[in-house]
Amino acid sequence: MSRLNRDQLLQLARGQITEMSPQDLHQRLASGEEFTIVDIRERDEFVQGHLPGAIFVPRGFLELEIEQRQPDRDKPLVIYCAGGVRSVLAARNVKEMGYTRAISLMGGFNAWKNAGYEFQIPTVLTEEQRLRYSRHTILNEVGEAGQLKLLDSKVLLIGAGGLGSPAALYLAAAGVGTLGIVDFDNVDASNLQRQILHDANAIGRPKVESAADRLHALNPDVKVIGYREPITSHNALDIIKDYDVVLNGSDNFPTRYLVNDACHFLGIPLVDGSIFMFEGQVTVYQPDKPELGVEGGPCYRCLYPDPPPPGEVPSCAEAGVLGVLPGIVGSIQAVEAIKLLLGIGEPLAGRLLMIDTLDMTFRTLNVRRDPACPLCGEHPTVTELIDYEQFCGLPSHSNGVGPAVEHSRLAPEQAAH
Amino acid sequence: MATVYVPPPLRRLTGGQSKVEATGQDIAGVFQAMDAQFPGVSEKLLDEDGHVKRFINVFVNDDEIRSLQGMSTPVKEGDRVSIVPAMAGGQRS
């Protein structure tokens, strides 16, 4: 076995790889050439600033992770460290793995920065957050960037009841930075069988307050904004417009049509869930986003152009609901919301998930956009929010969307504990 | 013979059964057969013109019949027919 000292090893490695100057790299990037740029420094170095678009894989993990980050071994790979030494050895090793175009950046980040070229200072998780979200950030589909995206995201929950409870708990635990909750109701003893956001001490308290306390205790990173009011045609657009995703856990048809229409007008994806006895349904109503290459699916009105006549479909209060069921459905809604926020996987759009907990079957049925849909079809006739109680055959301002008495809207700072 | 999935609100008519067997050439035939066995089913599912009510979706296997041939959608031996009405849950209907 040959014995090499440090300088001999470096010399040997330099002979096996390509080195590129910051000037050369800068020029090639400017002319549109594509490089996968890998920053192999330690975390404390990376957070001080890095080349634009660089992926961060510390030296110790490079060979272990590079295939996941860049599966194509024929793509040019520019590896840099602080001064251009560590990257020589790193490039040699990945070249041995078959990365034929592994390049070491001469002089490393320091030379790049001294040349006056642009660099980025990353937003990073705090030490506490790195620990809290470590099981997320280790997932390639999430990573630190994905977790930061979640922390920067806003999800609105319609209802803090059976569906909203597990969804809010999991979204808060996942570190979704802002959770809006619309619910005018107070906690009732009969809620506790399934609405796990609330406990016996909260009976009689507004649900948005009880929810904010619980969520804040779970994760102080999360800002909770409570809207202690019924959602109506008058306030829906205002409340919904600032959110990235809406999660529907409402308990009545007028609200379902209202939220569907408002989300469509605002171009915001809606994760819909509903439960009855032992069975649940989940789907995503995703509007088109041509600028993001997103082809949406059907909306609630495509599936159900008309509401059932009042009384035709019994309610959970009349027929009952298994307490665990909303735990399943609401959790699936939370998964879909996170997928939409991160842009990963296949959203449950154009598919209706049917869950039957008695025979424990999960089935997805295909649902399609209706060209004749009055909202999202070719010739829309619903072009603004309407009177949804009337649309659903209920007396206006009746108990369709909740009693009109509770209009005291909590200011966000009051509700966010 | 197709297997028809009966949603909870209709089970009052099927004696509580969530799945029933019915034979018919197409969806119209399957519903007729169901109605013969469980009177009142057709009235719950269809409007005066014989179309499926608009708050109910009917699927043959995984696809909604409006995207197939509507009430004339053929139903073969072993097919699965699902009747899926809108659900809202909660305290009010």
A7-31 tens-digit pLDDT: 999 999 999 999 999 999 999 999 9
pLDDT surpasses 60 at A362: yes
Answer whether A90's CB lies under 8 Å from A37's CB: no
SS3 content of chain A, % helix, strand, coil (to 5): 35, 15, 45
Is A166 part of the contact surface with chain B (CB cutoff 8 Å)?
no
Answer whether A157's CB lies under 8 Å from A164's CB: yes
Q: Which residue has the higher pLDDT, A124 or A311?
A: A124
Least-confidence region, from A184-193, A283-292, A328-337: A283-292
User: What residue type is assigned to position A325 of the chain?
Assistant: L
Nearest Cβ partner for A307 among B55, B64, B91: B55
Look at residue A317 in the predicted model and tell me its pLDDT: 72
Percent of chain A with pLDDT strictly greater than 90: 85
Cα A241–Cα A246–Cα A249 angle in degrees, nearest 5: 135
- For residue A53, the 8-state DSSP code is T
Instruction: Provide the shortest C-alpha distance from residue A228 to chain B (in Å).
Output: 18
Closest Cα in chain A to B57: A303
Look at residue A196 in the predicted model and tell me its pLDDT: 97
Contacts of A358 in chain B (CB under 8 A): 18
Look at residue B89 in the predicted model and tell me its pLDDT: 66
Answer whether A174's CB lies under 8 Å from A136's CB: yes
Give mean pLDDT, residues A294-300. 92
pLDDT surpasses 50 at A204: yes
- Residue of A272, A315, A351 to mutate for B, most B C-beta atoms under 10 A: A315
Hey, are the CB atoms on A251 and B82 less than 8 Å from each other?
Answer: no
Hey, are the CB atoms on B9 and A315 less than 8 Å from each other?
Answer: no
Is B1 part of the contact surface with chain A (CB cutoff 8 Å)?
no
- Residue of A158, A163, A316, A373 to mutate for B, most B C-beta atoms under 10 A: A316
Hey, are the CB atoms on A315 and B64 less than 8 Å from each other?
Answer: no
Listed by number, the residues of chain B in 20-49 with a beta carbon closer than 8 Å to a beta carbon of chain A are none
Nearest Cβ partner for A305 among B54, B67, B88: B54
Instruction: Provide the shortest C-alpha distance from residue B7 to chain A (in Å).
Output: 9
Give mean pLDDT, residues B33-42. 95
Contacts of B7 in chain A (CB under 8 A): 279
Answer whether A274's CB lies under 8 Å from B90's CB: no
Helices (H), A97-241: 108-114, 127-132, 134-137, 143-151, 164-173, 207-218, 236-240
pLDDT surpasses 60 at A366: yes
- For residue A308, the 8-state DSSP code is P
- Sign (positive or negative) of CA dihedral A191, A196, A197, A201: positive
Task: Tell me how far apart the alpha carbons of residues A377 and B66 are, in angstroms, rounded to a whole number.
Answer: 15
- For residue A115, the 8-state DSSP code is T
pLDDT surpasses 80 at A395: no
Give mean pLDDT, residues B81-90. 85
Hey, are the CB atoms on B88 and A367 less than 8 Å from each other?
Answer: no
Residue A226 CA, chain-centre distance (Å), reads 20
Hey, are the CB atoms on A315 and B82 less than 8 Å from each other?
Answer: no
Task: Tell me how far apart the alpha carbons of residues A139 and A47 are, in angstroms, rounded to a whole number.
Answer: 20
Answer whether B52's CB lies under 8 Å from B58's CB: yes
Give mean pLDDT, residues A121-142. 94
Instruction: Provide the shortest C-alpha distance from residue B29 to chain A (in Å).
Output: 22
Cα B46–Cα B47–Cα B49 angle in degrees, nearest 5: 110
Question: What ipTM was estimated for this complex?
Answer: 0.92
Look at residue A396 in the predicted model and tell me its pLDDT: 67
Is B78 part of the contact surface with chain A (CB cutoff 8 Å)?
no
Task: Tell me how far apart the alpha carbons of residues A362 and A179 are, in angstroms, rounded to a whole number.
Answer: 28
- At B90, is the pLDDT very low, low, confident or very high (cuts 50, 70, 90)? low
Task: Tell me how far apart the alpha carbons of residues A352 and A348 are, in angstroms, rounded to a whole number.
Answer: 7
Closest Cα in chain A to B90: A251
Average pLDDT, chain A: 92
User: How many residues does this entry show for chain A?
Assistant: 417
Counting beta carbons within 10 angstroms of the beta carbon of residue A32, is it exposed (0 to 12), middle (13 to 18) or buried (19 or more)? Answer: exposed
Chains A, B: CB contacts within 8 A come to 115
Hey, are the CB atoms on B92 and A370 less than 8 Å from each other?
Answer: no
Percent of chain A with pLDDT strictly greater than 70: 94
Q: A213-225 as b/e, with b when 16 or more CB fall inside 10 Å?
A: bbbbeebebbbbb
Phi and psi for A67 in degrees, rounded to 5? -65, -30
Look at residue B92 in the predicted model and tell me its pLDDT: 39
Hey, are the CB atoms on A312 and B87 less than 8 Å from each other?
Answer: no
Answer whether A324's CB lies under 8 Å from B74's CB: no
H or E, element range at A179: strand A178-182
Task: Tell me how far apart the alpha carbons of residues A311 and A360 are, in angstroms, rounded to a whole number.
Answer: 28
Look at residue A397 in the predicted model and tell me its pLDDT: 55
Q: What is the pTM of this model?
A: 0.82
Listed by number, the residues of chain A in 196-255 with a beta carbon closer than 8 Å to a beta carbon of chain B are 250-253
Question: Which residues contact residue A163 at a Cβ distance below 8 angstroms, ignoring those fewer than 6 apart?
Answer: A247, A248, A249, A273, A274, A275, A326, A329, A330, A333, B89
Hey, are the CB atoms on A303 and B88 less than 8 Å from each other?
Answer: no
Answer whether B86's CB lies under 8 Å from B55's CB: yes
Least Cα distance to A357 among A382, A328, A381 occurs for: A328
H or E, element range at B41: helix B41-45
Hey, are the CB atoms on A315 and B90 less than 8 Å from each other?
Answer: yes
